[in-house]
A and B are shown apart, each in its own frame.
Chain A
Amino acid sequence: MHGLAFFLFLIIVALTLVITYFASKRTKTTSEFYTADSSLTGWQNGLAIAGDYMSAASFLGIAGMIALAGFDGFFYSIGFLVAYLVVLYIVAEPLRNLGKYTMADMIAARFDDKKVRGVAALNTIAISTFYMIAQLVGAGGLIKLLLGIDYVYSVLIVGVLMTIYVVFGGMMATSWVQIVKAVLLMFGTFIISIMVFAKFDFSLIKMFNEVKTATPLGEAFLNPGNKFKDPLDTISLNLALILGTAGLPHILIRFFTVKDAPTARKSVVYATWVIGIFYVLTIFLGFGAAAFVGYDKIVAANPAGNMAAPLLAETLGGDFLFAFISAVAFATILAVVAGLVLSAASAFAHDFYSHILRRGQATEKEQMVAARWAAVGVSILSILLALFAQKMNVAFLVSLAFAVAASANLPILVFTIFWRRFNTTGAITGMIVGLFSALLLVFFSPNVWSPEPGAAILVGEPLFKLANPGIVSIPLGFIAAIIGTLLSSQKEDSKKFDEILVKANTGIKELAN
């Protein structure tokens, strides 16, 4: 069984390396490295967004959560999808019109200030790093389960591959790895869902009736409240989910890979269809696992339920389907971590090195060297952190990334586009307060502290009772940006805002032709 899975893993590795080889021929300039020269079509970028977004947490985590907790697991599916309305209605087009390579570019388009760019880049690096550690630690554990390869080697394999994609193939390789992964993931999910549905005679009524008796929860399985007991925590989580996506740097840089705002809009719409269909299918994955694999077997394989989808594949289609779904999970991880390396590396190389250190005076060649070294550096750092965090429960880092994105980035993006009075002081206070309030609240939360030894990272009573900081840190981010703006002595720069307003809404650039 391991042999077959191993073979399919090798195929994935070979395929992605071939992609990287061809992409490397078209990765000579910074524009090609950071944005694939903005040459992607709406459909390509839509699939790449889906491939960038649907992490192992979505595929394995949500399937497991629905299998173990029923309705409550589905909250994630809903929040992850509806968030795209915020992206589409508020940030996608202005971002494409104002930015060049990074999220900080967009804010710097209005505030040409080193401090603003530096803090924005810091946020990008923080978010991408949290997300990456969660992915890498998950990947190490998963590959160990699937192939029996030791955790350290598993992390190293994923780490080396992501480094190769980004260093040699830049955004072009990253995008195509994400596209291939999105297609594979949809295909695999679709096959399992059809098989599950066939077992219920293609009747939703029958499916719902059967899961009522399939799990230890009984009829309660179908009702909310099994996982989330505290109303405030539920709402806090949902806030971070719906507002976080629009501030995730690795998703935002995907909008620079298309030529203009209308194409960016099209790619979000396509992505929303793909992602939406996928999340609807998570019901079939979860219910199928609950009914055909069974609670005990899922928990025995992994207490969090991460093995629910692969085990379901094994139950339905034997070794081959198990190997195939394992390979899909592997491809899923690779695509997501490549996107994260690229977003953190671009913040280091483009924002810190080219703009802050060299004040925009670095040559094209110097910038390329910096970008590649930044990618190597980010990868090494992430691998080391992931090796260090092997024994920790790091699943909460994904929700922390969403909380920071919603608290520190979203307020600034929104005010940059819409608020005439907004100024650099407000931008900096908003970003700093949003970042640190989310971090501190998580540090004092039940994710980190638990009276029971082994249940969390540290032993003791959590000072902050909510698992998700969103309901406190998101309003704080907005309020800090407003207060910082109003208290500062800076004059309103109406002329600059007119320029931003026109650029963001029309895409008119200097020397329009």
Chain B
Amino acid sequence: MALQERSLKERTSIDYTQIAQSSSFQQLMRAKKNFILPLTLFFLIFYFALPILTSYSKVLNSPAIGPISWGWLFAFAQFIMTWTLCALYSKRSAKFDEMVEQIKQEAKEGGSV
């Protein structure tokens, strides 16, 4: 690579560290963490509750609605849970997208590009 080209590249490259330390990016990371971490823990616990309960107890074998046991209801609840968390994520990520737009604007104006 020619020297000239390299210096051009340096001038036009993005200062990622500056963006990473900017308050709007920090805010995005906090917002994401506060949303993703608790919900991920929740769905993992909700999911493993089923095999753990069915493996170590007979609790879910008792009938809930006629012949349909609690086990089947809990199994079906996993589907409801998955769809709900998908919808929640879609909704919340619209906000994240707005924050990303703002970070991009700042990066352009702030001369880090």
Contact = CB atoms under 8 A, between A and B. Distances in A.
Interface of A: 71, 74-75, 78-79, 81-82, 84-86, 88-90, 204-205, 208-209, 212, 222-225, 228, 231, 234-235, 238, 242, 262, 265-266, 268-269, 272-273, 276, 279-280, 494-495, 498-499, 501-503, 505-508, 510-512
Nearest to B54: A224
Nearest to B77: A78
Contacts of B95: none
B60 to A, nearest CB: 7
Nearest to A208: B67
B75 A74 contact: yes
Which 3 A-B residue pairs are closest in the complex by CB-CB distance?
A231-B55, A499-B16, A224-B54
For the residues of B in contact with A, the DSSP-based class is helix
Contacts of B55: 224, 228, 231, 234-235
Contacts of B58: 223
Contact of A265 (B21, B68, B71, B90): B90
A464 to B, nearest CB: 19
B65 A238 contact: no
Contacts of B34: none
Interface in B65-113: 65-69, 71-72, 75-76, 78-79, 81-83, 85-87, 89-90, 93, 97, 100, 103-104, 107-108, 113
B86 to A, nearest CB: 5
A222 B51 contact: no
Contacts of A231: 52, 55-56
Contacts of A505: 25, 28-29, 32, 100
Contacts of A511: 12, 14, 113
A234 B32 contact: no
A238 B16 contact: no
Contacts of B103: 506, 508
15 contacts: A78-B79, A82-B82, A85-B43, A90-B40, A208-B68, A224-B54, A262-B97, A272-B83, A276-B83, A280-B76, A503-B16, A506-B19, A506-B25, A507-B100, A512-B104
Contacts of A499: 16-17, 20
Interface residues of B, number: 55
B86 A205 contact: no
Contacts of B86: 84-85, 88, 268-269, 272-273
A82 B75 CA distance: 11
Contact of B71 (A71, A235, A502): A71
Contacts of B65: 205
Tell me which of B12, B25, B79, B82 has the highest count of chain A C-beta atoms within 10 A of its own C-beta: B82
A71 B93 CA distance: 35
Nearest to B61: A223
Given A78-B78, A269-B90, A498 B43 contact: no
B42 to A, nearest CB: 10
B104 A508 contact: yes
A267 to B, nearest CB: 12
Contacts of A272: 82-83, 86
A498 B16 CA distance: 6
Given A231-B56, A235-B55, A508-B19, 20 more contacts: A75-B51, A82-B82, A85-B40, A85-B82, A85-B85, A86-B40, A90-B40, A208-B68, A234-B51, A242-B44, A242-B47, A262-B93, A279-B79, A280-B79, A498-B16, A498-B17, A499-B17, A501-B16, A510-B13, A511-B113
B90 A84 contact: no
A222 B78 CA distance: 17
B32 to A, nearest CB: 7
B5 to A, nearest CB: 14
Nearest to B90: A269
Contacts of A510: 12-14
Contacts of B54: 71, 224-225, 234
A207 to B, nearest CB: 9
B41 to A, nearest CB: 11
Contacts of A265: 89-90, 93
B103 to A, nearest CB: 6
A81 B78 contact: yes
Contacts of A88: 86, 89
Nearest to A75: B51
Contacts of B14: 508, 510-512
B56 to A, nearest CB: 6
Interface string B1-43: 0000000000011101101110001001100100010011001
B35 to A, nearest CB: 9
Nearest to A81: B82
Contacts of B100: 505-507
